[in-house]
Amino acid sequence: MPVQGHLKEHFPMKFVIGLVAGASALCLASSAFAAPPPPIAPGDGAFTVLFFKSDHRAVAVAAVTAFMKSTPTSKALASGVCVSRTNATDFLTYGTYANFEDLLTTRSVMPSAETLALWKLQYRANFKPLIPFTSPDGKTVEHFFRFSVPTNNTDAFAQAAAKLSAQLAADNKGASLLVAMPVGGGEDEANVMHVRMIYPDNKSLGMALDNFFKGGKAGVPFREMRALATGMIGNIEDCEQFPIAQK
């Protein structure tokens, strides 16, 4: 995914290990006996995301996926990895929680130093969903946007997003929308809203895009959101979600 204004310093390994442990974004477990995560109600939910840029992305993603599927943790509802189609280096990992208390008090298990050495951490941030959301299970294709939204437009932006969410679900079975604002993202995420249009496969995304450009109903609330923002960057990502095994 495109990253604007990310930190350019080279992080020492000890710092990266400590940050990954503290952020608890690498906190996944075997999904063989796990139920899909429950829906996140209005006012609930929290996410933590680590953004990476690796020159060995395919190897890194394979390693982190294997780690996520086999390593237990506590309190997280689900976690996953998303890989950008825009370039050959960017990917992210994330954890989904019922609330910020669980996010900030969970305990994580770290991957090995050898695995971490394959990644180059850009920055990390926590996020709060602004509309009800159900975390998807399995592989998805996600149309990801970063909207620059002035603070006084946040409520109206969320209201327009709720209308878009309802229309996407009506137009395409299996489609969903995540809208989240950063909490503690620093200058990298200042006044930025993350919007993810989530689809089960490429066909569903393609149909949605065709419908939008033909004047479909989803375009109305999307244009409302665009009018409330001062800028927008879009990207398509391949993602995979893993529910947490219940202990």
Contacts of 24 (CB under 8 A, 6+ apart): 48, 73, 76, 95, 103, 106, 107, 108
C-alpha 62/C-alpha 85 separation (Å) is 16
Query: Tokens for 60?
Result: 């890194």
Confidence of residue 186 (pLDDT cuts 50, 70, 90): confident
Higher pLDDT, 206 or 136: 206
Cβ–Cβ under 8 Å, residues 79 and 50: no
Using the 8-state DSSP alphabet, how is residue 31 labeled?
-
List pLDDT tens digits, range 43-68: 788 998 988 888 888 988 887 777 77
- pLDDT value, residue 6: 34
Q: Amino acid letter at 55? A: D
- Sign for the CA dihedral angle at 37, 41, 44, 45 comes to positive
76-86 pLDDT, tens digit each: 888 889 999 98
DSSP H or E segment with residue 227? helix 219-227
Domains in the chain: ranges and CATH:
13-33+40-243 (3.30.70.100)
The whole-number pLDDT of residue 23 equals 37
Dist CA 86 CA 188 (whole Å): 19
Q: How far is CA 30 from CA 33, 134, 166, 208, in A?
A: 7, 20, 32, 32
Min mean pLDDT across 75-79, 137-141, 157-161 is at 75-79
How much is the pLDDT for 141? 96
Among residues of the chain, what percentage have pLDDT more than 90?
45
